[in-house]
Amino acid sequence: MRHTESNLRTLLDTYAHDATGREPVPHLDAILRRGRRIRRARRSLNVGVLAVATAAAVMLTGPDRTDQAAVAQPPSSARIETPPELPEKFLVVRGAERFTLPLIHSQRFGTTGGRRTVTFTPTSVSTGYKVVCADPRAWVVVRISLKGGESGGTSGRCGAGMGGHQDRLSAPAKWLKGRQTIQVWVFPPDAPVAKVAEELGRCRAFTKTTDTCDEQAARASLPRPDVLERLSAEVGEQPGGWSVGVYDRPAADPTATSDPAAVERGRPTS
């Protein structure tokens, strides 16, 4: 039950008159002053506790650093592995003859670890191709059909770009009769190429001066179908940007015919 100050004065005055012979009753003003001091002390204590709790929360959780954290984070793999741009021209050098082929078809990929098939329509027998990678240390295998029906191509680290080109001596007889394909495998730079080649016994044939499967022997073993299959299974699909381009003479180029002699002469650069 709550009392007003007036009620308290009346009760205390009455109690003081009835308390004859007992200990003196404190004056009401002193009691009220004491009550006000107690309330002020409690308020100060509550404020101090709240300040300590707030400081502890800041120390434990820290201030909101969402923006700073976003800025401080390293670039994501998606940014790092963005498929690179391909050059617009492919330089062909055959002895003293030099000419360039324009880009006629390109594809970009954001993952590595498996085979990709690139389909295109050649316009001459001097078709060129090139693979460029976001990470130049990536492993690359390119396979293309050759004149006798077998597969040829190249393999190794991507470097500044890996590629090659056909000519009248290597292009299949039906090269200009329809659509053609190039098969490309790209693996991350830390793919266990040497380990897989060694386990399958494919490295020994290329090891000349040592019993270990060195980088050169691993590169030579990489195009083997069983090595590619095992390596793809072990590595799986991983982020990794790369691009492949096909270069050839424009379809309107009068030298882009099925006449091998006409195409082989090429167009020298100025």
Neighbours of 166 (CB within 10 A): 25
Q: Across residues 218-236, what is the average pLDDT?
A: 95
Task: Write out pLDDT tens, residues 238-269.
Answer: 999 999 999 999 876 545 444 333 333 333 33
- Per the CB < 8 A criterion, the answer to whether 155 and 223 are in contact is yes
Residue 61 has pLDDT above 60, yes or no: no
Task: Write out pLDDT tens, residues 84-112.
Answer: 999 999 999 888 889 999 999 999 999 99
The two tokens of residue 208 are 């000349």
- Per the CB < 8 A criterion, the answer to whether 162 and 156 are in contact is yes
Confirm whether pTM is higher than 0.85.
no
Which residues have CB under 8 Å from 10's CB, separation 6+? none
Residue 73 has pLDDT above 90, yes or no: no
Helix (H) or strand (E) holding 142: strand 139-145
